[in-house]
């Protein structure tokens, strides 16, 4: 089960950015929040199959609201994935810090 809160590190052009990713699974549906770059982003439209997950969210940036796509996979308590915004892809890693 993927449920939990993960501390994440997003690799950006400005260096590593730290945040949290909270994931709540119900069957193959995924909801939660993605908090990074000083932005709290809630999502309810995610999907999970086996250990692969994806979701979209509206992210608040200095240039206004932008849609992000997040994809990744879970290995034990570790996450690896990509955040895509404005056709640019940024890798992130994470580790579970609590169970929800």
- In the predicted structure, residue 93 carries a pLDDT above the cut 90: yes
Structure-token pair, residue 33:
């929040």
CATH number for 4-98 (one of 1.10.8.420, 1.10.3330.10, 1.10.3720.10, 2.40.128.120): it is 2.40.128.120
d(CA 23, CA 21): 6
Q: What's the pLDDT at 100?
A: 65
CA 14, chain centre distance (Å): 19
Percent residues over pLDDT 90 in the chain: 70
Q: How many residues does the chain have?
A: 100
Which pTM does this prediction carry?
0.89
d(CA 32, CA 93): 17
- In the predicted structure, residue 10 carries a pLDDT above the cut 80: yes
Dump pLDDT digits (tens) for 38-67. 788 899 999 999 999 999 998 877 778 889
Domain boundaries, given as residue ranges, for the chain = 4-98
What separation in angstroms does the CA of 65 have from each of 4, 8, 16, 27, 57?
26, 21, 22, 30, 10
């Amino acid at each position: 089960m993927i449920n939990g809160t993960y501390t994440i590190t997003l690799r950006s052009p400005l260096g590593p950015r730290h945040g949290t990713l909270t994931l709540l699974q119900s069957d193959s549906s995924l909801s939660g929040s993605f908090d990074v770059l000083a932005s709290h982003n809630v999502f309810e439209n995610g999907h999970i199959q086996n250990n692969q997950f994806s979701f979209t969210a509206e992210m608040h940036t200095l240039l206004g609201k932008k849609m992000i796509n997040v994809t990744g996979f879970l290995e034990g308590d570790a996450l690896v994935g990509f955040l895509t915004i404005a056709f640019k892809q940024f890798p992130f890693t994470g580790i579970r810090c609590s169970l929800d």
